[in-house]
Structure 1
Amino acid sequence: MTRSQPRRRVNAAYSALNMRLVLAIFGLVSMTIFAVVAFRVGVIWLGVVCAILAAVAVVDLFVIQRRRAARHREEPGVKHSLFE
């Protein structure tokens, strides 16, 4: 056992779903803003790339929420921190 793992969940695998949720939201917001700015400036190819990445973030958010819901059904009442 290492000191970085809490004693109560030594053998449990850690899940980064909450951190992944935060990063997906950040990616969605930032890519949407960059796409709008790129389209207004006239750099169409960059706007399209940013819009595609924003769409990928939306799909990732959907997948994350489904996995979080499944985890909640498996472990009712358990609170997970941002990093597990």
Structure 2
Amino acid sequence: MYDERRRTGTEPRTARSPLHLRLALSAVFFPLFLAGTVLFATWSADSGPRDSPSPTALATLAGICAALALVAVVDLLVVTRRLRARRN
């Protein structure tokens, strides 16, 4: 396992990982992407084939938001695990 206390290169002694910033960004954007997923999926289900934007485009946007929400939640898990490991 990687030991953060051991210096391996030319990084300064006071260099710190931005884990708290990543935690804050993931905590803010996860609910936003989740809301976007629900919004676009609902809009896609309610729109007709001749509507603009098309149901396919809205479903694509819902899929993109879902993928970004998944990335955010995985990042939340990784960051919390690393912060716990740092405390121990």
Question: TM-score if structure 2 supplies the norm length?
Answer: 0.67
The SS at the match of 2:16 is coil
The farther-off stretch of 29-38 and 13-22 is: 13-22
- Over 3 Å off, 4+ runs: none
Q: Structure 2 CA distance, aligned partners of 1:26 and 1:67?
A: 19
Which residue matches 1:17? Answer: 19
Q: Structure 2 CA distance, aligned partners of 1:53 and 1:15?
A: 22
Q: Structure 1 CA distance, aligned partners of 2:79 and 2:13?
A: 23
Which residue matches 1:32? Answer: 34
- The count of residues paired between Structure 1 and Structure 2 equals 64
Unaligned runs of 5+ in 1: 1-9, 74-84
Unaligned runs of 5+ in 2: 1-11, 45-57
What is the percentage of aligned positions where both structures have the same residue?
36
Deviations 1:15-72 (A, max 9, x none): 2111110101111011001111101111111101100110111111111011101111
**Paired residue for 1:48, among 63, 70, 79?**
63
- State the structure with more CA Rg: 2
Q: Which residue identity lines up with residue 29 of structure 1 in the other structure?
A: P
Q: Structure 1 CA distance, aligned partners of 2:74 and 2:22?
A: 13
Q: Which residue identity lines up with residue 47 of structure 1 in the other structure?
A: A
Which residue matches 1:68? Answer: 83
Q: Which has the higher contact order (CA 8 A, sep 6+)?
A: 1
